[in-house]
Amino acid sequence: MSETTSGARHMMAVIGAATAGSEIARILAQHGATVIVFEQNPRPYGKIEDGLPRWHTKQRRDEYAEIDKRLDNPNIHYVPNTRLGKDISFEELRRGWGLSGIVLTHGAWRDRPFPVEGADEFIDRGLVYQNPLIYWFNHYREKSYNGPRYELYPGAIVVGGGLASIDVVKVLQIETTLTALAAQGISEDMIRLEREGIEPVLAQHNLKWANLKIQPCKLFYRRRVLDMPLSDIPADVPPKRADALRLARGKILQKAQRKYLFEFQELRVPTGLVVEHERMVGVQFGRTEVVDGQVHLVGDERETVRGKMTISSIGSIPEPIPGIPQKGEVYTYVDSRLGLLMDGSTSVFAAGNVLTGKGNIKDSLESGTEIGVRVAEAYLGLSGEEVDLVKGARHAAELSGEKIANAIDRRGLVAPEMVEKILTRVRARQLEVGYDGDFRGWIRRVTPPDLE
Ligand SMILES: Cc1cc2nc3c(=O)[nH]c(=O)nc-3n(C[C@H](O)[C@H](O)[C@H](O)COP(=O)(O)OP(=O)(O)OC[C@H]3O[C@@H](n4cnc5c(N)ncnc54)[C@H](O)[C@@H]3O)c2cc1C
């Protein structure tokens, strides 16, 4: 990629400024392109700020600094508070701006719908989705927080099975413990409960979990413990090794239960809702079996489980954006290896969580079969080990960035008059949202003093 002396150059837009977006912007800029990064929020930290529970203090702080470093670049134009699909339409950006390419790195923020028809009528009346819940958990202590507020009830039902659902049960168990302790006049620290576990902290107050009389929350999973996607199992490991790694998943779960005292039930799938006085007060579950990797409902018997609150944590998918071809939950690709969604005079690529649908441990941390278990235990706070959780996502983005830069390199440059036109549009939008081009100054202004 290059720039001619006349000022012709490649002009790229990146949508979403977080781990993947900032890394790809950095690489494209390094290759000589001018990059415009559109971000819906004032701050560019994405899942790191809003999805990774705030007890990952160091990881979050480190990655904020990394993202800042990547975006603070004279060839990168940051455009905050600008949402694709709302403030700018995808079609307008693709057909009307004259860009060389667009890279979608807007993540996976839509919760997969709870699998019972009509359930969404009860959102915030008994049903809560994981993404807004963790967003609230990460921000509710800030003075300026004005989003939805959640009251957490003991005995909540959690439907899930992956790492994010364990985050949810940890939030529930830790917060309900803090509330019960506060009722006894004891002020405790969330971080200590997460690091040391519930019983050891209670013991320091001469208390036991049973004294608090808190009904634990319960996690329901549709497959078997050994199928839980807590740790990745590489496709090429020998069958015996794969079996051992599946068993290790059970051990990860047991460790998490011992530390955070939640209950667990495998082989159950929601089949109905329990509704009273226009609130969802429970879930009907059917039993399942797993045959050849497929989940089947067994028999007609249904079990009613009551809970004032049900949290759905069954995965996050990319938000649909009008104009981007999609089949079911995922976008459709012209070339999925390259992440190429659409060809044409402005090509469209996707990378990061929007492409993979998840944060990818396995893509990054060299191969080796134990690594998945180690990372999962470190992520869940079970081993005391510090691992760079975002390394995987960053590395995957780096690979995507290089591939995209090489593909763009083969295209003609944008003429200088067009470059000027695009930059005028960018400046107009920046002005509209109050961004003066000083990235560091902006971050200082839009960061709440009490952001954790
Ligand atoms: C439970 C959990 C487990 C994780 N596990 C791992 C792991 O194992 N390994 C790992 O490497 N990482 C993990 N992570 C970290 C993380 O999710 C990702 O790896 C990484 O942060 C994803 O980066 P991203 O840039 O693709 O997406 P995001 O961080 O989601 O960033 C997307 C950005 O796009 C913005 N955006 C969204 N829509 C629009 C729009 N329409 N217009 C403009 N901007 C928009 C968002 O505001 C956001 O800033 C985990 C995170 C969680 C919550």
Q: Tell me, in angstroms, the distance from the centre of ligand 1 to residue 306's CA.
A: 33
Q: Tell me, in angstroms, the distance from the centre of ligand 1 to residue 41's CA.
A: 13
- What's the pLDDT score for residue 392? 83
Q: Give the whole-angstrom CA distance, residue 323 versus residue 421.
A: 24
Quote the pTM value: 0.94
Name which residue sits closest to atom 7 of ligand 1, judged by CA. Answer: 359
Q: Is the CB of 313 inside a 6 Å radius of any atom of ligand 1?
A: no
- The 10s digit of each residue's pLDDT in 175-232 is 999 999 999 999 999 999 999 999 999 999 999 999 999 999 999 999 999 999 988 7
Mutate to test the pocket of ligand 1, among 47, 55, 313, 355 (most ligand atoms within 8 A of CB): 47
pLDDT at 378 over 60: yes
Mutate to test the pocket of ligand 1, among 14, 19, 102 (most ligand atoms within 8 A of CB): 19
Place of tokens 């009551």: 306
Q: Tell me, in angstroms, the distance from the centre of ligand 1 to residue 55's CA.
A: 17
Q: Is the CB of 15 inside a 6 Å radius of any atom of ligand 1?
A: yes
Q: Is the CB of 19 inside a 6 Å radius of any atom of ligand 1?
A: yes
Q: Is the CB of 93 inside a 6 Å radius of any atom of ligand 1?
A: no
- What's the pLDDT score for residue 373? 83
- The 10s digit of each residue's pLDDT in 293-340 is 999 999 999 999 999 999 999 999 999 999 999 998 889 999 988 899
Please state the three-class secondary structure of the chain as a single string: CCECCCCCECEEEEECCCHHHHHHHHHHHHCCCEEEEECCCCCCCHHHHHCCCCCCHHHHHHHHHHHHHHHCCCCEEEECCCCECCCECHHHHHHHCCCCEEEECCCCCEECCCCCCCHHHHECCCEEEHHHHHHHHHHCCCCCCCCCCCCCCCCCEEECCCHHHHHHHHHHHHHHHHHHHHHCCCCCCHHHHHHHCHHHHHHCCCCCHHHHCCCCCEEECCCCHHHCCCCCCCCCCCHHHHHHHHHHHHHHHHHHHHHHCCEEECCEEEEEEEEECCEEEEEEEEEEEEECCEEEEEEEEEEEEECCCEEECCCEECCCCCCCCEECCEECCCECCCCEEECCCCEEEECCHHHHCCCCCCCCCCCCCCHHHHHHHHHCCCCCCCCCCCHHHHHHHHHHHHHHHHHHHCCCCECHHHHHHHHHHHHHHHHHCCCCCCHHHHHHHHCCCCCC
Q: Would you state the structure tokens that stand for residue 125, as one six-digit string?
A: 């009346």
Residue 253 or residue 1, greater confidence: 253
Q: Rounded to whole angstroms, what are the CA distances from 201 to 100, 176, 206, 277, 294?
A: 56, 14, 9, 39, 41
Please compute, for residue 1, the number of CA atoms within 13 A of its CA located in the half-sphere on the CB side. 24
Q: Is the CB of 60 inside a 6 Å radius of any atom of ligand 1?
A: no
- The residue among 388, 398, 354 whose CA lies nearest residue 60 is 388
Sorted by where each begins, the domain ranges of the chain are 11-109+318-365+385-446, 111-316
| φ/ψ of residue 315, rounded to 5 | 120, 155
* Average pLDDT, rounded, for the chain: 93
Region 11-109+318-365+385-446: CATH code: 3.40.50.720
Domain 111-316 has CATH 3.50.50.60: yes
Residue 187 or residue 245, greater confidence: 187
Q: Which atom of ligand 1 is nearest to the CA of 48?
A: 21
- The residue among 358, 384, 387, 382 whose CA lies nearest residue 253 is 382
- The 10s digit of each residue's pLDDT in 381-410 is 999 888 787 888 888 899 999 999 999 999
- What's the pLDDT score for residue 372? 79
Q: Is the CB of 36 inside a 6 Å radius of any atom of ligand 1?
A: no
Mutate to test the pocket of ligand 1, among 14, 56, 89, 106 (most ligand atoms within 8 A of CB): 106
Q: Is the CB of 38 inside a 6 Å radius of any atom of ligand 1?
A: yes
- What's the pLDDT score for residue 367? 44
Q: Give the whole-angstrom CA distance, residue 334 versus residue 306.
A: 46
Q: Is the CB of 393 inside a 6 Å radius of any atom of ligand 1?
A: yes
pLDDT at 262 over 90: yes
Least confident range from 135-144, 302-311, 351-360: namely 351-360
How sure is the predictor about 363, in pLDDT bands with cuts at 50, 70 and 90?
very low
| φ/ψ of residue 263, rounded to 5 | -100, 165
Same fold, 11-109+318-365+385-446 and 111-316: no
